[in-house]
Amino acid sequence: MKTIAANYTSIFFLLVLFFALGCNKDEIHSNKDLTDGFSITSHGEVILNHNDFEYYDYSAHLIYLKDSKSFVEDFEDLGEFKVHANGEEIYSGETWPGYSSSIPLGPMIGTHPSFYGDNIVSIGFMPYLDSLGNFLPDPREDERIVEALKGYDQFHAGLSCEITSVEYVSSTNVTVKLLLKNNDDFNYYYIDPEKTGIGLFHYFTNGLYIRNFSSYEMYEHEIEIVSADPYNSWDLDWMSVINGNQSKEITITYNNFEEVPPGQYKATFEFPGLSFQVDKDDIIQDNGQIWLGSLRMQKDIIVD
């Protein structure tokens, strides 16, 4: 009788172990589903996964949330966060309130306030140097993130821009030429300096500035800025359409740039897009989508 009882006991524990393992397997599978594709966690909790957002604009590193998520409720007081691609941790960062006196290095999510609407999470990056004085790579540009986003058709390449030339007509007359490219197969609206005028265009950007990194001298334009009125307004008449996979040359002339001594410099330009001004319902227009964000580019130049 003791042998029979022992056998029943053994069978009972085997069944318990079987179901326990089965439940644990399902739980692991469930957790894996939460981190398939692109996801964000904080303190071991999944804050966002592929079910929670529509797409990721890779050019501006903007996550466009679905209606079930809210930047203010879900991200504003997040603290530390980790970004995953198909379950693999790619990088970590922290939220940064605008009232803080310090700026964290590396990836960060700006809060209090965000520069975007409640439907958008913007992941920024503050460059920093390694022990040898070299800039470390931007972890947001990891190819594993691209693959994870493409797996759920959530990857938007967005716009890119480069400085093609900086030409000096005189010591204070400078022309910068940019090449704006749409890397997606659908249309975008972008802020067009020919439509806004140079004063209003520079309400949204610092524009061109030239820096000597050995002496830390910086030179910039002296344009009289024209503010949007009210400050949070925008107008489709300020914008032009760049078609899918199209490139456009943009020329901006500064007639009153600070005089730059001869030498080697880095020219920097920030190409602007709209941000908090645009409501979610206004992003999609009849002939395309309004591109939000900003692009920063540099070019080595020689001033004679």
Residue 189, pLDDT score? 98
Model pTM score: 0.86
Q: Which runs of E-coded beta strand occur in 11-67? A: 38-42, 45-48, 53-57, 62-65
Residue 258, pLDDT score? 95
- Count CA atoms within 13 Å of residue 42 on its CB side: 14
Output DSSP code: residue 130.
-
70 CA to centre of own chain: 17
**Whole-number Å distance between alpha carbons of 239 and 292:** 12
Domain span(s) for CATH 2.60.40.2970 in the chain: 157-303
CB 201 within 8 A of CB 234: no
Model confidence at 129, pLDDT cuts 50, 70, 90, reads low
**Whole-number Å distance between alpha carbons of 48 and 52:** 6
Residue 32, pLDDT score? 47
φ, ψ at 78 (rounded to 5°): -70, -40
pLDDT tens digits for range 219-251: 999 999 999 999 999 999 999 999 999 999 999
Mean pLDDT of the chain: 88
pLDDT at 178 > cutoff 50: yes
Q: What is the share, in percent, of the chain residues with pLDDT greater than 70? A: 87
**Whole-number Å distance between alpha carbons of 274 and 267:** 23
Read off the tokens for 6: 């022992």
Average pLDDT over residues 184-201: 98
Model confidence at 71, pLDDT cuts 50, 70, 90, reads very high
Residue 54, pLDDT score? 98
248 CA to centre of own chain: 22
**Whole-number Å distance between alpha carbons of 41 and 48:** 7
47 CA to centre of own chain: 18
Average pLDDT over residues 124-140: 80
pLDDT at 6 > cutoff 80: no
The sheet that has 188-191: what strands, in order across it?
239-242, 188-191, 288-290, 284-285
Residue 105, pLDDT score? 85
Average pLDDT over residues 194-216: 93
pLDDT at 102 > cutoff 90: no
Average pLDDT over residues 98-124: 91
Q: Which of 161, 163, 160, 273 is nearest to 209 (CA)?
A: 163
User: Taking the CB of residue 293, how many other CB atoms lie within 10 A of it?
Assistant: 20
CA dist 183 → 213, 236, 239, 268, 269 (Å): 32, 22, 18, 22, 20
Q: Which residues contact 161 (CB under 8 A, 6 or more apart)?
A: 178, 179, 180, 181, 269, 271, 295, 297
Read off the tokens for 138: 């931007």
Model confidence at 21, pLDDT cuts 50, 70, 90, reads very low
Question: Of 3.40.470.10, 3.40.50.150, 3.30.750.24, 2.60.40.2970, which CATH number belongs to 157-303?
Answer: 2.60.40.2970
Read off the tokens for 121: 């999470």
Model confidence at 10, pLDDT cuts 50, 70, 90, reads very low
Q: Which residues contact 106 (CB under 8 A, 6 or more apart)?
A: 91, 93, 125, 126, 128, 139
**Whole-number Å distance between alpha carbons of 2 and 149:** 60
pLDDT tens digits for range 45-61: 999 999 999 999 999 99
**Whole-number Å distance between alpha carbons of 190 and 250:** 12
pLDDT at 204 > cutoff 80: yes
Model confidence at 171, pLDDT cuts 50, 70, 90, reads confident
User: Taking the CB of residue 90, how many other CB atoms lie within 10 A of it?
Assistant: 17
Residue 214, pLDDT score? 77
CA diameter of the chain: 107
Average pLDDT over residues 134-154: 94
